């Protein structure tokens, strides 16, 4: 789907995948979570933005399955618009004809591309999830609200809602408290992992050519080490999710934060070491690689870095995280 100059037809590829049914992945915890994570990694390796939008669509399908919403169908593309900055605030209001959304939502990936979205909104002091068809005049992407370079094609700008009809999905607060919330967080890491593997390819190709010096080979070895740890962490998480899909929320949260931290480290190590081994050449002469580096640098910041590590530390403070068990 690339034209050889680094561009990638994300909308076209997504429409192709949706029509073919290729986006219908196993839901987490149903016995095939590893297959789900492998598919998300493969889409991330194909293209970082594609991987991000596929992950959101498949997460929406899993949320609808878990909370009793209508299933997605081929031809649809769903987003999950759940960012909750302090301002602006999207409000939901119940009227005589049903629920409506009013206000502005930030960070709406696929704002012009998605056919439907799951959107969080405030109902008084509660936070509730709503399903909304986007082919209605009451939903309007805000022009020039996504001036990004990395992840530019994810089209993650703001959307205005003006009395937009919507359907509640689950009870107030259910989006965050459902068992699958943290399973979905691991799915994001699977997409990061796939993209990081693709980012390492130029260095592997250079080493395979026989021209790499000892420093470049050492960088490749370091990358392989962290990517193997990321792969093993994702595989173990998949098995644990299938063994206990509706288990203790604290256990699911710790697992997700641990895996995401390991994969994030693999991503940042890969990007750094490929650059140190190969210099500026692939960033300046290989448009596809340069685009991936820019996209993945932004995408992995879906992690909240030290804030997430601090949350993990608080969770682990009452346990023994350094047991020598295997």
pLDDT for the residue 179: 85
CA distance 88 to 186: 28
Q: Is the pLDDT of residue 7 over 90?
A: no
Output the CA–CA distances (angstroms, integers) from residue 214 to 155, 222, 243, in the order listed. Answer: 41, 12, 44
Residue appearing with tokens 């995280």: 321
Closest CA relative to residue 260, chosen from 293, 299, 234: 234
Kindly give, in sequence order, each residue whose CB lies less than 8 Å from that of residue 153, ignoring residues fewer than 6 positions away. 8, 10, 49, 295
Domain boundaries, the chain: 1-76+172-318, 78-171
Q: What pLDDT digit, counting tens, does each position of 29-76 carry?
A: 999 999 999 999 999 999 999 999 999 999 999 999 999 999 999 999
pTM of the model: 0.95
180 vs 77, 139, 254, CA distance in Å?
Answer: 20, 28, 13
78-171: in CATH 2.40.110.10? yes
pLDDT in tens, 176-232: 999 899 999 999 999 999 999 999 999 999 999 999 999 999 999 999 999 999 999
């Amino acid at each position: 789907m690339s034209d050889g100059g680094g561009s990638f037809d994300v909308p076209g590829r997504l429409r192709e995948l949706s029509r073919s049914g290729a986006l219908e992945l196993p839901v987490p915890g149903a016995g095939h979570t590893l297959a789900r994570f492998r598919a998300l990694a493969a889409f991330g390796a194909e293209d970082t933005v594609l991987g991000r939008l596929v992950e959101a669509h498949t997460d929406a399908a899993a949320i609808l399955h878990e909370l009793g919403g209508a299933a997605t169908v081929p031809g649809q593309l769903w987003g999950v618009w759940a960012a909750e900055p302090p301002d602006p605030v999207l409000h939901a209001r119940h009227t005589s004809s049903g629920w409506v959304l009013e206000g502005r939502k930030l960070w709406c990936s696929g704002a012009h591309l998605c056919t439907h979205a799951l959107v969080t909104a405030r109902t008084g002091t509660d936070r509730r999830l709503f399903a909304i068809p986007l082919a209605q005049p009451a939903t309007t992407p805000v022009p020039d609200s996504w001036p990004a370079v990395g992840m530019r094609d994810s089209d993650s700008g703001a959307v205005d809602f003006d009395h937009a009809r919507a359907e509640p999905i689950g009870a107030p607060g259910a989006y965050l408290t459902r068992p699958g919330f943290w399973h979905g967080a691991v799915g994001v890491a699977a997409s990061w992992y796939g993209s990081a593997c693709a980012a390492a390819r130029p260095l592997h190709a250079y080493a395979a050519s026989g021209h790499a010096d000892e420093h470049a080979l050492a960088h490749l070895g370091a990358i392989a080490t962290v990517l193997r740890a990321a792969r093993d962490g994702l595989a173990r998480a998949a098995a644990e999710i299938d063994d206990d899909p509706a288990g203790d929320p604290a256990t699911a949260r710790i697992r997700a934060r641990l895996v995401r931290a390991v994969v994030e480290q693999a991503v940042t190590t890969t990007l750094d070491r490929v650059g140190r081994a190969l210099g500026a050449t692939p960033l300046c002469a290989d448009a596809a690689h340069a685009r991936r580096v820019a996209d993945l640098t932004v995408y992995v910041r879906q992690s909240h870095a030290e804030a997430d590590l601090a949350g993990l530390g608080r969770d682990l403070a009452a346990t023994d995280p350094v047991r020598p068990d295997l």
